[in-house]
Chain A
Amino acid sequence: MTSYRLGSGGAINRGQSLTFTFDGRSYKGFDGDTLASALLANDQMLMARSFKYHRPRGVVTAGSAEPNALMTIGSGARAEPNARATVVELYNGLTAASQNRWPSLKHDFGAVNDLFSPFLGAGFYYKTFMWPGVLWEKLYEPLIRRAAGLGKATMQADPDRYEKSWAHCDLLVIGAGPSGLMAALTAGRAGVRVILADEGFRFGGSLLSESAAVGGQPAAEFAAEVVEELATLPNVTLMPRTTVFGWYDDMVFGAVERVQKHVASPSPDLPMERLWRIVAKRAILATGAEERPLVFGGNDKPGVMTAGAARTYLNRYGVAVGGKVAVFTNGGSGYRTAADLLAQGVDVTAIIDARPQSADPVPEGIRIIRNGSVIATKGRYRIDGLIAERSGFEEVIGCDALAMSGGWSPIVHLMCQRGAKPVWSDEKQAFLAPDVGGAFVAAGAAAGQASLGECLTDGAAKGHAALEALGRLVGTLGTPEVEGEYDPSFAPLWYVPGARDKAFVDFQNDVHVGDLGLAQREGFRHIEHTKRYTTAGMATDQGKLANVNTAGIVAGMRGVSPAEIGTTTFRPFYTPVSFGALAGTARAEHAAPVRTSPLHGWARKNGATFVESGPWYRSAWFPTDGEKTWRESVDREVLNVRVNAGLCDVSTLGKIEIFGRGAAEFLDRIYSNSFLKLPVGRARYGLMLREDGIVFDDGTASRLSENHYVMTTTTAYAAEVLAHLEFSAQTFWPELDVRFVSSTDQWAQMSLAGPKARIIMSRVVQDDISDAAFPFLAAREVVLRGGLKARLFRISFSGELAYELAVPAGYGEAVADAIMDAGREEGICAYGVEALNVLRVEKGHVTHSELDGRTTADDVGLGRMMAMQKPDFIGKRLSMRFGLTAADRLQLVGLKPVEADKEIKAGAHLLKDGAKPSTANDQGFVSSACFSPTLGHFIALGMLKSGRERIGERVMVWDGLRGSEVLSEVCPPVFVDPENSKLHL
């Protein structure tokens, strides 16, 4: 037996055995295991194949930095690729499968890559597959991708729920190791709102792997006691299984909580993962430090792992990583690991110390090789020995596991995500956290503290400092005594010379020292270039183990300090975050908010087909029996409005109530046309310009009483117009007494249009609405038969006699029903926005198809609405710019095909007849087009260079996109009733 479960010890529940499978084979583990610890307990050291060379790999770490042991967890739609076995919490029935191998993990055909590895160095693809270029996408890239790789994503829909939530606190503590626990306890006892988050499923961090005693009890028990106290504090929120992955503006932290990843049968009522946005007044980074691997020949073989990992498997999970363990170290960590292994009865064959001498206590009976190094490892699927070298003499040492320690790197990612770079410390031989201001500070090992005692003290001190900054003055917390402490300091050793095999820097991407050297020789010297050229520091682990060693080795090659090399850029996410968590509930029917009109139910009842218009769902057309295409419905609706009457839902138009003594003057300045003398009880069409003289929006404003107006806007610009009004009132003319509020949602508004509109409306409205009593553009409150108060406007978008009736939204459906009933004998029909569009094109009215942010009032034929005699209005000055008044500007015209059966499409370009289609020859474009059932052929509105002078000319409507050319005649834009005789019936 090589690696095995100890008879006792560890923070696992030996009373609860769990069954799981790996590559189809069944294993047993315990509650409290990770997948990796359970596999090791079953002597399964081979866990993966490497990315490029398909080399056999085991675990290197016992935490989230793991580069090797990536597996696919679960199956079917729930299959999750690239899960790190070192952090996957074991549960009953878990299924795991190895990746990037065929036909099996042990016999992987792809391992042939390793034989060819001398030809497969960094940049190999770019140099080799250069010609012919077309083959890259079709042949080379697919081949390479098949040969190398990670796990495969499932193509099935995710069956689980995800959520997002906000959290707020005075102090966020990131990491629940010794420093984090002390910081949280200090702040928690003082009563401030604390959130303590840790990526692990059990709080305690390194205390769980520690053999020292804290406060007179085993470290893990001390941790449990602190957690227990924290759990009783109502002001403290404990968030286990929660990775704080990003630091964003204004002290907002992103975190992902794995709510049910560890559950055998997830509840459908709970999310699988929950994304948190944590708003913190202060934060403490207590993420600890990562142990560096040593870079020596054959350092990637199964059985070689960090000393800290070996200690964690031993002390936390009760697993011996080997039967005969060798240690290779440049600091105290190796000695402590040897001592811990020995104490559990594991045979330690030798400590190979790279330093000539050290003060670290040598455990009794262990052979020590000082000033030594490892230059190769033996064995394939698990090491069975190593070659040590000392002063030119080589020696084979038997072992089935090798614990290595290359020193410690503080985990400073979060503090470096907003631009600040980590700072190299010669004293600590490590990159330390930058100073990012007092609100976010590092504590303990993350701040470069080395020993457990220092971490506990620093955590408490940083917690206390946070309290002071929050204005809570309290006494300092005593720090518990640590017994059996060791000195974790180390001497730098970036690269072990004399390697007989590849010495890997980045395990996940198969980047070895030779690749880094090649990058320097080929000119990719900047560390960011070195990264891109070699792929060191990429992929799922983002170089958590590799980056610092890369900087150190490149510094050594260049003969400079790592300070000069620096690090690559740190970005969120610290560890991978699923798309599901990022999407949260915003998927399927919750993907976007839905806005419905108060007449939605009425439209549905009448068979409407709906169209999305921004967040709104608007009724587009109302098919009746036998109508197979939308055009049939729309043609019928249009003709019916022109002959009888139709009812259309216009509730989505923006409505803004305007109050104040200054309202008239305000509107006069907001609109380009005059509003000062609009009488009470009248509506007026209004045109708004932007400051630059371009048309902004159009609509109507009606004066309901002396100081009360209601403005309508287009559906799309309702919010923008309200913001524009507020901005103008507050910043341009604060002296005007005017106030606004949106009432869009208050009113169900319907347009009743057609020659029979009055007779129908008079059956519903009590008031006299004869042409004399209620003429064109009348607007006032009326009472419906039955007593309901409503607003009635005589305005028309269709060119027909028309009324818009606004009733309180809750009555909308009932009133629309009543109008349909009242109009049945007159042949009323419901019509949608498509018919509305045809009616307005026939009448030559413009919408945002024409008011597209480029056109002036004059361009669209509304020059008469520029009341230049007014002292000022928004857009007046800049509308006089030369460019906006030039004679060759595009102007609104009508277009009709010369051959009546031809179709004009919106978006097509206009060319002089016979001209070649080119940008230089472009004369304009078609802005709106439709089939006019009234005229029996297609009609269009278009923007044509000097268009109004060219009525009668023939132009080519050229649609290169859809491949059509239609010779058309330029005509005035009003196709139906240009005399407006129908409006005044």
Chain B
Amino acid sequence: MSINLLHRHALEDHISGFETDPNPNHLCVIRRPVIFSVLAHEGQETAVAEALWNAEDVAPRFCSPSEWFAVSRTLGAETVAGTLSEIAGASVVDQSDGRVLMEISGPSVRTILAKCVAIDLHPEVFEEGHSASMLCCHAEANVARTGADRFEIIVPRSLAGSVFELLMEMGREHALTRGFAG
């Protein structure tokens, strides 16, 4: 007997109904990103960070000292696992199902996020490529700046629905739209 298993996104029930065209302010939920936790062992922090930053098609996200997320929207989990497993001094674990990745973008994005996080996201303080762990709508989140007006938010799957609904609420005055991608 073989079982055909359907993969379900955590926000499947939250994003239903008519698909609308995205507004300038848009929240995009990435359907199947690959997200690994990467832990550097004692004394290997710099080497692991360097290897992570050099890995192709993998975006490193700083979580805490010697801990990162390795994120990829293009590669498969097996490929990323392969790349990461070659990094000496690192332990890695797949978190792709345990994290939800949302991308929020648009001219009002900082105004919206100021209602969600306590961190200063001014471009002089939080530059493109920067990422940090912070509370976002009461949930632990990793927030990264991926463009002038674009941020990536990674939250635990169990809290994703709650965070998503609050993000939409905070974006209400800026006509924030939402949808799946990828």
Contact A808 B157 (CB under 8 A): no
In angstroms, Cα B174 to Cα A270, docked, is 9
Q: A279-B120, A739-B91, A786-B2 are in contact. Are A809 and B98 (CB under 8 A)?
A: yes
With a cutoff of 8 Å between Cβ atoms, the chain B residues found around residue A193 in the complex are 122
A784–B40 Cα distance when bound, in Å, is: 31
Q: Is the pair A743, B138 in contact by a Cβ cutoff of 8 Å?
A: no
- Interface residues in A759-814 by Cβ distance below 8 A to B read 763-764, 784-786, 788, 808-814
Taking a contact as CB atoms under 8 Å apart, the answer to whether A808 and B137 are in contact is no
Q: Which residues of B contact A589 (CB under 8 A)?
A: 165
B79 proximity list for chain A (CB < 8 A):
none
Given A593-B159, A660-B91, A786-B3, is A809 in contact with B139 using a C-beta cutoff of 8 Å? no
Mark interface residues in A226-238 (1 if CB within 8 Å of B CB, else 0): 0000000000000
In the complex, A270→B171 CA distance in Å?
A: 10
Say which residue of A165, A267, A596 sits within 8 Å of B115 (CB atoms).
A165
What residues of chain A lie closer than 8 Å to B173, measured between beta carbons? Answer: 267, 269-271
**Given A737-B42, A745-B157: A818 and B165 interface contact (C-beta under 8 Å):** no
Contact of B37 among A163, A168, A741, A814 (CB under 8 A): A741
With the chains together, A785 CA to B117 CA distance in Å? 43
Interface of B is mostly: loop
Q: Report the separation of the CA atoms of residues A744 and B99 in the bound assembly, to the nearest whole angstrom.
A: 10
CB 8 Å contact bits of A647-666 with B (1 = contact, 0 = none): 00000000001011000000
Residue A358 interfacial (CB < 8 Å): no
Q: Are B169 and A593 in contact (CB under 8 A)?
A: no
User: Which B residues are CB-close (under 8 A) to A982?
Assistant: none
- Measured between beta carbons, the chain A residues less than 8 angstroms from B158 are 595-598, 616, 744-745
CA distance A746 to B8 in the complex (A): 13
The verdict on B59 contacting chain A, using a C-beta distance below 8 Å, is: no
Q: Considering only CB atoms, which chain A residue lies closest to B111 in the complex? A: A165
Instruction: Using CB atoms, name the residue of chain A closest to B163.
Output: A593
**Cα distance A747–B173 when bound, in Å?**
36
A616 cross-chain contacts in B, Cβ below 8 A:
158
In whole angstroms, what is the CA distance A411 to B3 when docked? 73
Closest partner residue, chain B, to A615 (CB atom): B159
CB-based contact A814/B7 at 8 Å: yes
Q: Which residues of B contact A271 (CB under 8 A)?
A: 173
- Chain A residue contacts of B15, Cβ below 8 A: none
A418 within 8 A of B: no
Interface residues of B in 1-45 (CB under 8 A from A): 1-10, 12-13, 37, 39-42
> Which of B91, B137, B163, B175 has the most CB atoms of chain A within a 10 A radius of its CB?
B91
- Kindly list chain A residues whose C-beta atoms are within 8 Å of the C-beta of B8: 601, 810-814
* Chain B positions within 8 Å of A708 at CB level: 91
Chain B residue with the shortest CB-CB distance to A719: B140
A815 within 8 A of B: yes
Q: Is B91 a contact partner of A746 (Cβ separation < 8 A)?
A: no
Q: Check: B131 CB closer than 8 A to any chain A CB.
A: no
Neighbouring A residues of B5 by C-beta, 8 Å: 784, 786, 788, 811, 814-815, 818
Q: For residue A811, which residue of chain B has the nearest CB?
A: B5
- B137 / chain A contacts, CB cutoff of 8 Å: 593
In the bound assembly, the distance between CA atoms of A608 and B31 in angstroms comes to 27
Closest beta carbon of chain B to A224's beta carbon, Å: 26
Interface 0/1 of A733-767, CB less than 8 Å to B: 01001011101111100000000000000011000
Chain A: minimal CB distance from B153 (Å): 15
Of all chain B residues, the one with the shortest Cβ separation from A734 is B42
Q: Which chain A positions have C-beta within 8 A of B161?
A: 594, 596
Least distance between B165 CB and chain A CB atoms (Å): 7
Q: Is residue A167 contacting chain B, with contact meaning CB distance below 8 A?
A: yes
- Chain A residues numbered 590-642 whose CB sits less than 8 Å from any CB in chain B: 590, 592-598, 601, 615-616
Closest Cβ of chain A: how far from B144's Cβ, in Å? 18
Interface residues on A, range: 35 or more
A784 touches B10 (CB 8 A): no
Complex: how many Å from CA A813 to CA B91?
Answer: 29
Residues of chain A with a CB closer than 8 A to B97's CB: 598, 745-747, 808-811
CA–CA, A267 to B175, complex, Å? 13
**Chain B 109-146 against A: per-residue CB contact (8 Å), 1 yes, 0 no?**
00100110111101001000000000001110000000
Tell whether B103 is near chain A: CB-to-CB under 8 Å: no
What residues of A have a CB within 8 angstroms of the CB of B175 in the complex?
Answer: 269
Question: In the complex, which of the residues B39, B41, B42 contacts A741, with contact meaning CB atoms closer than 8 Å?
Answer: B39
Q: State whether A168 touches B122 (Cβ < 8 A).
A: yes
Contact status B98-A746, CB under 8 Å:
yes
Q: How far is the CA of A56 from the CA of B151 in the complex (A)?
A: 58
Residues of A697-739 contacting chain B, CB below 8 A: 708, 734, 737, 739
How far is B94's CA from A809's CA once the two chains are assembled, in angstroms? 11
| Residue ID in chain B nearest A584 by CB atoms | B115
Whether A593 contacts B114 by the Cβ 8 Å rule is: no
Please name all residues of chain B whose beta carbon is closer than 8 Å to the beta carbon of A324 when the two chains form the complex. none
| A745 lies within 8 A of B98 (CB) | yes
Q: When the two chains form their complex, are residues B114 and A590 in contact, meaning their CB atoms are under 8 A apart?
A: no
Contact B7 A593 (CB under 8 A): no
- B54 close to chain A: CB less than 8 A: no
Cβ of A21 < 8 Å from any Cβ of B? no
A163 proximity list for chain B (CB < 8 A): 115, 170
B152 within 8 A of A: no
Contact of A659 among B39, B94, B159 (CB under 8 A): B39
Chain B residues numbered 79-104 whose CB sits less than 8 Å from any CB in chain A:
91, 93-99
Q: Interface readout for B43-84 with A: 1 if CB under 8 Å, 0 if not?
A: 000000000000000000000001100000000000000000
Asked whether any CB of chain B lies closer than 8 Å to the CB of A848, the reply is: no
In contact, A763 and B1 (Cβ under 8 angstroms): yes
Using Cβ atoms and an 8 Å threshold, which residues of chain A touch B115? 163-166, 585
Option from B12, B93, B162, B172 in Cβ contact (under 8 Å) with A593: B162
Residues on B with C-beta less than 8 A from A746 are 93-99, 157
In the complex, chain A residues whose CB is within 8 Å of the CB of B98: 743-747, 809
Nearest residue (CB) in B for A736 is: B42
Q: What's the Cα separation between A851 and B35 when bound, in Å?
A: 36
Contact yes or no, A166 B117, CB < 8 A: yes
Complex contact A808–B93 (CB within 8 A)? no
Indicate whether A585 sits within 8 Å of B170 (C-beta atoms), given known contacts A601-B13, A786-B5: yes
Instruction: Out of A597, A660, A810, name the residue touching B7 (CB < 8 Å).
Output: A810
Closest to B1 in A: A785
* A277 within 8 Å of B (CB atoms): yes
Beta-carbon contact of A785 and B2 below 8 Å: yes
Give CA–CA (A161, B170) in the complex, Å. Answer: 11
Give Cα distance in the complex from A746 to B162, angstroms. Answer: 17
Residues of A contacting B10 in the complex (Cβ-Cβ under 8 angstroms): 598, 809-810
Let me know if A739 and B39 touch, CB within 8 A. yes
- Determine the chain A residues whose CB is within 8 A of the CB of B106 once the complex forms: none
Interface positions, chain A 261-308, Cβ under 8 Å from B, are 267, 269-271, 277, 279
B124 to chain A, nearest CB (A): 8
Tell me, in angstroms, the Cα distance from A744 to B5 when the chains sit together: 21
Asked if B93 and A743 make an inter-chain contact with CB atoms under 8 angstroms apart, the answer reads: yes
CA A659 – CA B40 in complex, angstroms? 10
Looking at B1, B97, B139, B158, the one whose CB has the most chain A CB atoms below 10 A away is B158
A193 to B119, CA, bound (A): 15
Nearest 7 A/B pairs, CB to CB: A746-B98, A745-B98, A659-B91, A168-B120, A808-B97, A809-B97, A739-B39
30 A-B pairs within 8 Å (CB atoms) are namely: A166-B114, A166-B118, A168-B122, A168-B125, A279-B120, A592-B138, A594-B162, A595-B162, A601-B13, A734-B42, A737-B41, A739-B39, A741-B37, A743-B37, A745-B97, A745-B157, A746-B95, A764-B3, A784-B5, A785-B3, A786-B5, A788-B5, A808-B94, A809-B97, A809-B98, A812-B8, A813-B8, A814-B6, A814-B7, A815-B3
Residues of A within 8 A of B (CB): 161, 163-168, 193, 267, 269-271, 277, 279, 585, 589-590, 592-598, 601, 615-616, 657, 659-660, 708, 734, 737, 739-741, 743-747, 763-764, 784-786, 788, 808-815, 818
Chain B residues with a Cβ under 8 A of chain A: 1-10, 12-13, 37, 39-42, 66-67, 91, 93-99, 111, 114-115, 117-120, 122, 125, 137-139, 156-159, 161-163, 165-166, 169-170, 172-173, 175
Known contacts A598-B10, A601-B12; 4 further A-B pairs (Cβ under 8 A): A269-B173, A660-B41, A747-B98, A814-B8
